[in-house]
Amino acid sequence: MANVKKKLKYFGGYVWEMTKASLPGIFMYLCAGAIMMMLILRGKEENNFISWTTMNKVWVAVCMVAAAAYNGLICYAHGGSHYEMLVSGNIKRATTDMYGNEYKISSHKEAKEYRVWKGFVMGAFTAILTLVIGLVFGFRQEKIDGTMTISTFVCFILSGWSVMPFYAMNQTGTSISYFITCVFAVVPVVVSGVFYIIGAYARRRKTIRQQEIADKAAQAATQKEKKINYGGLPGTKPKKRK
């Protein structure tokens, strides 16, 4: 029983850390959806609450790119910090194996160590709302098109960045299945996973470069000729050769 609790605690720690790491990306996609709502849901024509102009299409694309870029930036930072945590963990484990006693590092958390798959899991957590809203819209397409209910509005708030453009196109005469929006769930997964790995390798290169600079400085210091302090006493300082 104790072993089961230990494993559950271990697993829960990983889930909690990755959930926290995915929250900024989720928030940014929510902001992108909210901006799209302000742009699109303001039609001025009679019986038409959708404004789907060329300029709005451009802004929709900008919102999507900005949300994905911010998501990538956050995961890039997580990749770097998790790499440093991995280095601390390796030092801790190597010291424990060498001396037999557990070596404790107060700032170290194994759940925050770098793993290749972590970025993709963070992206999957971010993409859950996108996938769920896409399925809801897909199964209820006939009831959603042409109307604006409270449930539809809530879905726009949760994942407007993925469904709002298709909703606008369907209101202007196009007929597109909302199940296509489920494909957008791949975007956070790929962006998070790729930038997480890039961030880790960038931090590794930076660490190696700093270590090389420190080693060269130490080597130069050892090779530098030391000056002897004679205390300024007369007759104790050697004469300089001309």
Q: Is 156:87 a contact under the CB 8 Å cutoff?
A: no
Per-residue pLDDT band for 46 (boundaries 50, 70, 90) equals: very low
Q: What is the DSSP letter of 185?
A: G
Average pLDDT over residues 16-20: 91
CA dihedral 64, 65, 66, 69 (to 10 degrees): 130
Which residue, 106, 103, 109, 112, is CA-closest to 83? 112
Q: Is the pLDDT of residue 206 over 70?
A: yes
What is the percent of the chain where pLDDT is above 90?
Answer: 45
Q: Is the pLDDT of residue 121 over 60?
A: yes
**Threshold 0.75, pTM exceeds:** yes
For the chain, the maximum distance between any two Cα atoms, rounded to a whole number of angstroms, is 105
